[in-house]
Protein backbone atom coordinates (compact mmCIF):
# COMPACT_ATOMS: atom_id res chain seq x y z
CA UNK A 1 0.00 0.00 0.00
CA UNK A 2 1.23 3.51 -0.81
CA UNK A 3 1.49 6.20 1.80
CA UNK A 4 -1.52 8.50 1.91
CA UNK A 5 -1.24 11.59 -0.27
CA UNK A 6 -1.23 15.03 1.27
CA UNK A 7 -2.53 18.30 -0.12
CA UNK A 8 -3.16 18.42 -3.85
CA UNK A 9 -1.40 21.18 -5.79
CA UNK A 10 -3.11 22.32 -9.03
CA UNK A 11 -0.91 22.77 -12.06
CA UNK A 12 -1.34 26.22 -13.61
CA UNK A 13 -0.94 27.27 -17.22
CA UNK A 14 1.06 30.02 -18.86
CA UNK A 15 1.18 33.35 -17.01
CA UNK A 16 -0.23 31.67 -13.88
CA UNK A 17 -3.68 31.15 -15.40
CA UNK A 18 -5.32 28.08 -13.89
CA UNK A 19 -6.40 25.45 -16.39
CA UNK A 20 -9.36 23.36 -15.15
CA UNK A 21 -8.35 20.49 -17.41
CA UNK A 22 -4.84 20.15 -15.96
CA UNK A 23 -4.34 17.22 -13.64
CA UNK A 24 -3.11 17.55 -10.09
CA UNK A 25 0.12 16.34 -8.59
CA UNK A 26 0.77 15.48 -4.98
CA UNK A 27 3.52 16.05 -2.50
CA UNK A 28 3.96 12.29 -2.49
CA UNK A 29 6.34 12.81 -5.41
CA UNK A 30 8.45 15.14 -3.30
CA UNK A 31 8.54 12.62 -0.46
CA UNK A 32 9.15 9.69 -2.84
CA UNK A 33 11.73 10.55 -5.54
CA UNK A 34 11.38 7.06 -7.05
CA UNK A 35 8.11 8.21 -8.65
CA UNK A 36 10.20 9.74 -11.44
CA UNK A 37 12.36 6.66 -11.75
CA UNK A 38 14.25 6.43 -15.04
CA UNK A 39 13.97 3.10 -16.84
CA UNK A 40 16.41 3.02 -19.74
CA UNK A 41 18.91 5.32 -21.52
CA UNK A 42 18.01 8.80 -22.67
CA UNK A 43 17.50 7.78 -26.32
CA UNK A 44 15.41 4.70 -25.49
CA UNK A 45 12.08 6.17 -26.65
CA UNK A 46 9.55 4.08 -28.59
CA UNK A 47 6.62 5.73 -30.38
CA UNK A 48 3.34 4.10 -31.36
CA UNK A 49 0.88 5.92 -33.61
CA UNK A 50 -2.14 5.33 -35.84
CA UNK A 51 -1.33 5.62 -39.57
CA UNK A 52 -4.04 7.64 -41.27
CA UNK A 53 -4.23 5.29 -44.25
CA UNK A 54 -4.87 2.32 -41.97
CA UNK A 55 -7.52 4.27 -40.07
CA UNK A 56 -9.26 5.21 -43.33
CA UNK A 57 -9.27 1.67 -44.69
CA UNK A 58 -10.53 0.23 -41.42
CA UNK A 59 -13.29 2.82 -41.12
CA UNK A 60 -14.18 2.15 -44.75
CA UNK A 61 -14.75 -1.57 -44.35
CA UNK A 62 -16.56 -1.20 -41.03
CA UNK A 63 -18.94 1.41 -42.43
CA UNK A 64 -19.34 -0.54 -45.67
CA UNK A 65 -20.22 -3.74 -43.79
CA UNK A 66 -22.89 -1.97 -41.73
CA UNK A 67 -24.25 0.05 -44.64
CA UNK A 68 -24.44 -2.84 -47.12
CA UNK A 69 -26.11 -5.03 -44.51
CA UNK A 70 -28.70 -2.31 -43.86
CA UNK A 71 -29.38 -1.89 -47.59
CA UNK A 72 -29.73 -5.64 -48.07
CA UNK A 73 -32.21 -5.91 -45.20
CA UNK A 74 -34.17 -2.98 -46.63
CA UNK A 75 -34.39 -4.71 -50.01
CA UNK A 76 -35.46 -8.00 -48.43
CA UNK A 77 -38.21 -6.25 -46.48
CA UNK A 78 -39.47 -4.56 -49.65
CA UNK A 79 -39.58 -7.91 -51.46
CA UNK A 80 -41.29 -9.52 -48.45
CA UNK A 81 -44.12 -6.99 -48.41
CA UNK A 82 -44.57 -7.16 -52.17
CA UNK A 83 -42.98 -3.80 -52.95
CA UNK A 84 -40.21 -4.99 -55.21
CA UNK A 85 -37.87 -2.15 -56.28
CA UNK A 86 -37.43 -1.28 -59.91
CA UNK A 87 -34.20 -1.82 -61.80
CA UNK A 88 -33.40 1.89 -61.48
CA UNK A 89 -33.89 1.68 -57.71
CA UNK A 90 -31.53 -1.27 -57.50
CA UNK A 91 -28.90 0.71 -59.40
CA UNK A 92 -29.37 3.56 -56.91
CA UNK A 93 -28.88 1.11 -54.02
CA UNK A 94 -25.66 -0.16 -55.58
CA UNK A 95 -24.35 3.38 -56.06
CA UNK A 96 -25.19 4.21 -52.45
CA UNK A 97 -23.39 1.06 -51.28
CA UNK A 98 -20.23 2.26 -53.03
CA UNK A 99 -20.34 6.00 -52.34
CA UNK A 100 -21.70 6.40 -48.80
CA UNK A 101 -18.97 4.37 -46.98
CA UNK A 102 -16.19 6.28 -48.77
CA UNK A 103 -17.70 9.68 -47.95
CA UNK A 104 -18.37 8.83 -44.30
CA UNK A 105 -14.92 7.31 -43.76
CA UNK A 106 -13.28 10.39 -45.30
CA UNK A 107 -15.32 12.76 -43.12
CA UNK A 108 -14.48 10.84 -39.95
CA UNK A 109 -10.77 10.84 -40.83
CA UNK A 110 -10.82 14.58 -41.50
CA UNK A 111 -12.46 15.24 -38.13
CA UNK A 112 -9.81 13.15 -36.34
CA UNK A 113 -6.89 14.14 -38.59
CA UNK A 114 -4.71 15.70 -35.87
CA UNK A 115 -6.27 13.85 -32.95
CA UNK A 116 -5.60 10.17 -33.60
CA UNK A 117 -4.40 8.08 -30.68
CA UNK A 118 -0.69 7.71 -29.89
CA UNK A 119 1.64 6.44 -27.16
CA UNK A 120 5.27 7.19 -26.21
CA UNK A 121 7.33 4.89 -24.00
CA UNK A 122 10.43 6.63 -22.70
CA UNK A 123 12.74 6.66 -19.71
CA UNK A 124 10.41 9.17 -18.04
CA UNK A 125 7.30 7.01 -18.24
CA UNK A 126 4.23 6.63 -20.43
CA UNK A 127 2.74 9.45 -22.48
CA UNK A 128 -0.45 8.57 -24.31
CA UNK A 129 -3.70 9.89 -25.73
CA UNK A 130 -6.78 8.10 -27.00
CA UNK A 131 -8.30 9.40 -30.24
CA UNK A 132 -9.84 12.82 -29.67
CA UNK A 133 -8.72 12.92 -26.02
CA UNK A 134 -6.23 14.94 -24.00
CA UNK A 135 -2.73 13.47 -23.49
CA UNK A 136 -1.73 11.89 -20.19
CA UNK A 137 1.70 11.43 -18.60
CA UNK A 138 2.26 8.66 -16.08
CA UNK A 139 5.68 7.94 -14.50
CA UNK A 140 6.73 4.30 -14.48
CA UNK A 141 6.54 4.08 -10.70
CA UNK A 142 2.95 5.30 -10.93
CA UNK A 143 1.85 2.41 -13.18
CA UNK A 144 0.09 -0.41 -11.33
CA UNK A 145 -0.84 -2.69 -14.27
CA UNK A 146 -1.25 -2.61 -18.05
CA UNK A 147 -3.23 -5.03 -20.20
CA UNK A 148 -4.96 -5.40 -23.55
CA UNK A 149 -8.66 -6.04 -24.04
CA UNK A 150 -10.88 -6.77 -27.05
CA UNK A 151 -9.43 -7.81 -30.42
CA UNK A 152 -8.34 -6.66 -33.87
CA UNK A 153 -8.86 -2.98 -34.74
CA UNK A 154 -10.96 -2.57 -31.58
CA UNK A 155 -8.11 -3.54 -29.23
CA UNK A 156 -7.68 -1.21 -26.26
CA UNK A 157 -4.83 -0.74 -23.81
CA UNK A 158 -5.95 -0.58 -20.18
CA UNK A 159 -3.51 1.41 -18.03
CA UNK A 160 -4.19 1.31 -14.30
CA UNK A 161 -2.23 3.84 -12.21
CA UNK A 162 -1.27 3.29 -8.59
CA UNK A 163 -3.55 6.25 -7.85
CA UNK A 164 -5.43 8.62 -10.15
CA UNK A 165 -3.48 11.68 -9.02
CA UNK A 166 -0.19 10.17 -10.22
CA UNK A 167 -1.29 11.00 -13.78
CA UNK A 168 -0.77 14.43 -15.30
CA UNK A 169 -3.26 15.50 -17.97
CA UNK A 170 -1.93 17.77 -20.72
CA UNK A 171 -3.40 21.01 -22.05
CA UNK A 172 -3.82 19.91 -25.68
CA UNK A 173 -7.27 20.27 -27.29
CA UNK A 174 -9.63 17.37 -26.79
CA UNK A 175 -12.01 15.80 -24.34
CA UNK A 176 -11.03 14.38 -20.99
CA UNK A 177 -9.12 11.06 -21.13
CA UNK A 178 -11.21 7.90 -21.31
CA UNK A 179 -11.58 6.34 -17.88
CA UNK A 180 -12.92 3.06 -16.55
CA UNK A 181 -13.94 2.96 -12.90
CA UNK A 182 -14.42 -0.39 -11.20
CA UNK A 183 -14.68 -0.90 -7.48
CA UNK A 184 -12.71 2.20 -6.66
CA UNK A 185 -10.04 1.40 -9.26
CA UNK A 186 -9.44 3.87 -12.10
CA UNK A 187 -7.96 2.86 -15.45
CA UNK A 188 -7.14 4.82 -18.61
CA UNK A 189 -8.28 3.39 -21.96
CA UNK A 190 -6.37 3.93 -25.21
CA UNK A 191 -7.43 2.64 -28.64
CA UNK A 192 -4.35 0.76 -29.90
CA UNK A 193 -5.84 -1.71 -32.40
CA UNK A 194 -4.65 0.32 -35.39
CA UNK A 195 -1.37 1.52 -33.95
CA UNK A 196 1.94 0.87 -35.64
CA UNK A 197 3.78 -1.13 -34.45
CA UNK A 198 0.89 -3.36 -33.43
CA UNK A 199 -0.61 -4.10 -30.01
CA UNK A 200 1.60 -7.18 -29.49
CA UNK A 201 4.74 -5.09 -29.99
CA UNK A 202 3.31 -2.45 -27.67
CA UNK A 203 2.66 -5.01 -24.96
CA UNK A 204 6.18 -6.41 -25.39
CA UNK A 205 7.63 -2.91 -24.98
CA UNK A 206 5.64 -2.36 -21.80
CA UNK A 207 6.72 -5.77 -20.51
CA UNK A 208 10.33 -4.75 -21.13
CA UNK A 209 9.80 -1.68 -18.97
CA UNK A 210 7.52 -3.26 -16.39
CA UNK A 211 8.04 -7.04 -16.42
CA UNK A 212 6.02 -7.58 -13.23
CA UNK A 213 3.04 -5.42 -14.19
CA UNK A 214 2.12 -6.65 -17.69
pLDDT of residue 26: 43
How long a stretch of residues is the chain? 214
Give the range among 40-54, 59-73, 108-122, 188-202 with minimum mean pLDDT: 40-54
User: Sorting pLDDT into bands at 50, 70 and 90, what band is 131?
Assistant: very high
| Contact (Cβ atoms closer than 8 angstroms) between residue 128 and residue 118 | yes
**In whole angstroms, what is the distance from residue 63 CA to residue 104 CA?**
8
Question: Number of structural domains, the chain?
Answer: 2
Residues 126 and 46 in one domain: yes
Share of the chain above pLDDT 90, in %: 57
Rounded mean pLDDT, 114-143: 92
Residue 129 phi/psi, 5° resolution?
A: -155, 130
Residue 62 sits in which domain range? 52-111
Q: Which residues of 59-96 are buried (b: 16+ CB within 10 A; e: fewer)?
A: bbeebbeebbeeeeeeeeeeeeeeeeeeeeeeeebeee
Q: CB 13: neighbour CB atoms within 10 A?
A: 12
pLDDT of residue 84: 86
* pLDDT tens digits, one per residue of 174-183: 899 999 998 8
pLDDT of residue 25: 41
Please tell me the pTM assigned to this model: 0.70
Residues 123 and 40 in one domain: yes
1 domain residue, yes or no: no
Q: Which residue among 77, 96, 111 closes a domain? A: 111
Residues 44 and 122 in one domain: yes
Residues 120 and 180 in one domain: yes
Amino acid sequence: MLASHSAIIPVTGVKDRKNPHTATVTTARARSPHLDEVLGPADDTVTFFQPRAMVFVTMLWVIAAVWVTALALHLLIRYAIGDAPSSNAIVTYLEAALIVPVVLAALILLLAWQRLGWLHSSMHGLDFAATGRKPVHLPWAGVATVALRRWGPFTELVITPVAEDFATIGDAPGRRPRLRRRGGEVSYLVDVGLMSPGPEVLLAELHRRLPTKV
